[in-house]
Amino acid sequence: MADHIIGDRYRLEEQLGRGGTATVWRGVDLVTGTPVAVKVLDREHATRPVALERLRREAEAVARLEHPNIVASHELAIDGEAGFLAMELVDGPNVADLLLNGGWLPVEQAVAVAEQVCAALAAAHQAGVIHRDIKPGNLIVSRSGQVKVCDFGIARLQDRDGSAALTAHSQVIGTCEYMAPEQATGEPVDARTDLYALGCVLYAMLTGRPPFVGETAVAVLHQHLNNAPVPVRTVRPDVPPELDDLVGRLLAKRPADRPATADQVRERLTASRGAVAAIAPVTVMLPRLTGRHRMATPWPTGCPTGCRTGRPQKHGCGGGGSASSQPR
């Protein structure tokens, strides 16, 4: 499909990623000359209501939002039988790429990424959008260090009165390693569900892996529901206690025990910067937890209906010249 023009406006130039139902291309807007990312539903899914609904949901969610830390959406359209979504193209890797290439992140960088994700989530939650799939692969870091949250394809939208506009409470959908207990059991979700996922991401950035891994998705979800994570400082003693405590609170099993808002989390992250700067890095000999083949236990291979694993992917929303939404 390279060099194909879709929607009489976008020339597709290079495939950036491919998932279960869609392919993301680097393209050019022929009207403005602007580089774009274009998510195109694969032919076999182009007429499937579920695939079209997810594409529409992503466009509707992003249309509610205009924020420097959220990937912008340009156009949702159907060209013949091909539904597509044109989006902002972000030049840079996603956090999953950074973890694969370098293991855990410097504490300062992990805090900076998390602060920007909090800013994006605060805006989304204020607009009634719950992302439901915050994970390293959906966080792009531009060459300048700006973080962009992408892939609102399974977002939960609320009407102005707070009621759900698009999805039923009983749906279990998301990525298992980053899924809050209430999301795993099909209970109602809210802003604190995304904050739990952010806690999982922060844990992964600081230690090189998510808080819970296992042979199967069911095993991972069981741990989310029942097990306490190994404290971050047990794995990495140079992490300040204040930051370790915040991660623990974000990973509380009960939503009521977590911080209530993304703004609260961001304030605590900012407050931790002094402690981060004051503590010298510590070199510790630990099991090899980082890198593509360095997980302490294998990535899950099985998955309940609607639940995706966070297995590192060759393609995603990151990589050089990242697509702005991860295909599925």
For helices 107-126 and 191-207, the axis angle rounded to 10 degrees is: 170
158/162 Cα distance (integer angstroms): 5
314/323 Cα distance (integer angstroms): 13
Alpha-helical (H) ranges within the chain are 49-63, 95-102, 107-126, 181-184, 191-207, 217-226, 232-235, 241-250, 262-271, 273-278
Q: Nearest 5°: CA angle at 123, between 169 and 319?
A: 90
39 a known binding residue? Answer: yes
187/172 Cα distance (integer angstroms): 9
Query: What radius of gyration, in Å, describes the C-alpha atoms of the chain?
Result: 19
Question: Which residue in 148, 33, 142, 248 sits closest to 134, CA to CA?
Answer: 148
What token pair was written down for 268?
Answer: 């605590």
Evaluate whether 84 touches 77 at the Cβ level (below 8 Å).
yes
289/103 Cα distance (integer angstroms): 8
Residues labelled as active-site residues: 133
Evaluate whether 130 touches 288 at the Cβ level (below 8 Å).
no
Cα 125 to Cα 22, 146, 184, 225: the distances in Å are 27, 20, 20, 24
27/34 Cα distance (integer angstroms): 9
Helix, strand, coil percent values for the chain (each to nearest 5) = 35, 20, 45
Binding-site entries for ATP? 39
